[in-house]
């Protein structure tokens, strides 16, 4: 089964919590806090698997969560880091943000990409020991791993796209010019998924051809099978437009060319402007009484296309077609690699710059929320006086107290910070 578009949920592992521990051993003079740090959470990493050409493995399993970091322990033992979760994707996979549709990354080369970065492990209490605070009874919790919903969309990496109406001989041509063995039969929609073939033109030379399932009128709007696979033509530098000139099905070749190009243009205006070579297939059995050769050739010439009469069955002019394609590709730009439209792995902003918070009032209670504040609450020991004093200093220095006053909070009013309630005192 060919699958080229899936939605997945990915979450990196959370960082482990720092440990609150004290070393108390007889005859050991240098005791004190020895809580170890938590381990970092595992990241979700995408990598290119050159041997794959489908996203089938993500059709039924769509939720992927990396391993959490382990908590720190006493005696300065560092928690184990969570293992990264590595997900293979075929070459040419584009990662898009589900909500915005923006491109996050184009995985067209053999590279790795961190989709979701693991959370950082929290500090143990030994990091909070100072000359005036020698027995810190609090540690820092690990931060949460990043989570995302993304679309994985495969756009095949092919230099040349074989396009045309159903049953015009695209698969036959692919089987003749490459080692690909697509299904071939004398009926419409024989090809149900794109096929790739490598055309070898000499030592170390060649190009990749994609056989795109037959388009029909209305394909860009969802008719037939071609609409599902038009995206695979996006990267093609050159199109081989296959048209049946035998007249055995009673269709006008000019009308066939117009139909397919209209669908390409409706899907993406740039596609119809791509260089085309018209492969007039089944030329070995043309019904000359029905085929208006002059009108056909005039139309192709007017469009500025190259015309080659071929026969996939007899091999007529197949070498000429391959040579013409090879020469044309030398003059064309390389395969398109899409630029990222959003940077999800930009350098982290410092805590001072990202301390955003919201204050809302419900039933007379002031609720304060913020991601950094949530992480802070996990590191506070509310039964310890020094830890509470540290918490109060952070609230004042980070602007929480100021924000509460601006909202009208005064002496005796109730403040709730993630289920921790206290009365406000100026």
One domain, residues 317 and 370: no
**Structural domain of 378:** 358-423
pTM (two decimals):
0.71
One domain, residues 165 and 278: yes
The number of distinct structural domains making up the chain is 3
CATH of the domain at 384: 3.30.300.350
pLDDT of residue 187: 40
One domain, residues 178 and 149: no
Give percent above pLDDT 90 in the chain.
39
One domain, residues 285 and 395: no
One domain, residues 191 and 282: yes
One domain, residues 269 and 206: yes
One domain, residues 99 and 225: no
Confidence of residue 30 (pLDDT cuts 50, 70, 90): low
pLDDT of residue 29: 65
CATH of the domain at 26: 2.70.210.12
Identify the weakest region by mean pLDDT among 61-65, 162-166, 387-391: 387-391
349 in a structural domain: no
Confidence of residue 64 (pLDDT cuts 50, 70, 90): very high
One domain, residues 310 and 222: yes
One domain, residues 318 and 370: no
Q: Spell out the SS3 assignment of the chain.
A: CCCCEEEEEEECCCCCCCCCCEECCCCCCCCEECCCCCCCCCCEEEEECCCCCCCHHHCCCCEEECCCCCCCECCCECCCCCCCEEEEECCCEEEEECCCCCEEEEECCCCEEEEECCCCCCCCHHHHCCCCCCCCCCCCCCCCCCEEEEEEEECCCCCEEEECCCCCCHHHHHHHHCCCCCCCCCCCCCCCCCEEEEEEEECCEEEEEEECCCCCCCHHHCCCCHHHCHHHHCCCCEEEEEEECCCCCCCCHHHHHHHHHHHHHHHCCCHHHCCEEEEEECHHHCCCCCCCHHHHHHHHHHHCCEEEECECCCCECHHHHHHHHHHHHHHCCCCCCCCCCCCCCCCCCCCCCCCCCEEEEECCEEEEECHHHHHHHCCCCCCCHHHHHHHHHHHHHCCHHHHHHHCCCCCCCEEEECCEEEECCC
339 in a structural domain: no
340 in a structural domain: no
One domain, residues 31 and 126: yes
One domain, residues 57 and 186: no
pLDDT of residue 158: 83
pLDDT of residue 71: 93
pLDDT of residue 215: 62
173 in a structural domain: yes
Confidence of residue 228 (pLDDT cuts 50, 70, 90): low
One domain, residues 232 and 279: yes
Listed residues 138, 154, 170: the one ending a domain: 154
Listed residues 97, 132, 154: the one ending a domain: 154
350 in a structural domain: no
């Amino acid at each position: 089964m060919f699958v080229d578009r899936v939605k997945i949920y990915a979450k990196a592992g959370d960082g482990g919590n720092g440990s609150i521990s004290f070393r108390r051993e007889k005859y050991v003079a240098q005791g004190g806090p020895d809580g170890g740090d938590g381990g970092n959470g595992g990241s979700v990493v995408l990598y290119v698997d050159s041997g794959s050409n489908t996203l089938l493995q993500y059709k039924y399993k769509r939720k992927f969560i990396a391993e959490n970091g382990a908590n720190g322990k006493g005696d300065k033992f560092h928690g184990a880091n969570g293992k990264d979760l590595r997900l293979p994707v075929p070459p040419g996979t584009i990662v898009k943000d589900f909500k915005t549709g923006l491109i996050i990354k184009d995985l067209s080369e053999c590279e790795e990409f961190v989709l979701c970065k693991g959370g950082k492990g929290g500090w143990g209490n030994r990091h909070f020991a100072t000359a005036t605070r020698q027995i810190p009874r609090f540690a820092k919790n690990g931060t949460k791993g990043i989570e995302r919903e993304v679309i994985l969309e495969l756009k095949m990496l092919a230099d040349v796209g074989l396009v045309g109406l159903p049953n015009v001989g695209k698969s036959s041509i692919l089987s003749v010019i490459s080692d690909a063995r697509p299904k071939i039969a004398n009926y419409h929609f024989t090809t149900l998924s794109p096929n790739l073939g490598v055309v070898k033109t000499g030592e170390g030379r060649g190009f990749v051809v994609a056989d795109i399932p037959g388009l029909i009128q209305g394909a860009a709007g969802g008719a037939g099978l071609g609409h599902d696979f038009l995206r695979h033509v996006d990267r093609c530098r050159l199109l081989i437009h296959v048209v049946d000139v035998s007249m055995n099905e009673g269709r006008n070749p000019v009308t066939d060319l117009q139909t397919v190009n209209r669908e390409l243009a409706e899907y993406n205006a740039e596609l119809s402007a791509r260089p085309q070579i018209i492969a007039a297939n089944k030329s070995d059995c043309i019904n000359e009484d029905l085929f208006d050769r002059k009108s056909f050739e005039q139309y192709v010439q007017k469009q500025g296309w190259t015309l080659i009469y071929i026969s996939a069955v007899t091999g007529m002019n197949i070498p000429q077609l391959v040579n013409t394609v090879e020469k044309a590709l030398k003059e064309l730009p390389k395969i398109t690699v899409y630029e990222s439209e959003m940077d999800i792995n930009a350098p982290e902003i410092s805590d001072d710059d990202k301390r955003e918070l919201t204050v809302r009032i419900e039933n007379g209670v002031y609720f304060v929320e913020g991601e950094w504040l949530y992480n802070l609450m996990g590191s506070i020991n509310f039964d310890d006086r020094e830890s509470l004093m540290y918490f109060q200093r952070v609230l004042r220095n980070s602007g929480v107290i100021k924000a509460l006053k601006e909202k009208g909070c005064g002496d005796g009013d109730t403040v709730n910070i993630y289920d921790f309630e206290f009365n406000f005192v100026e």
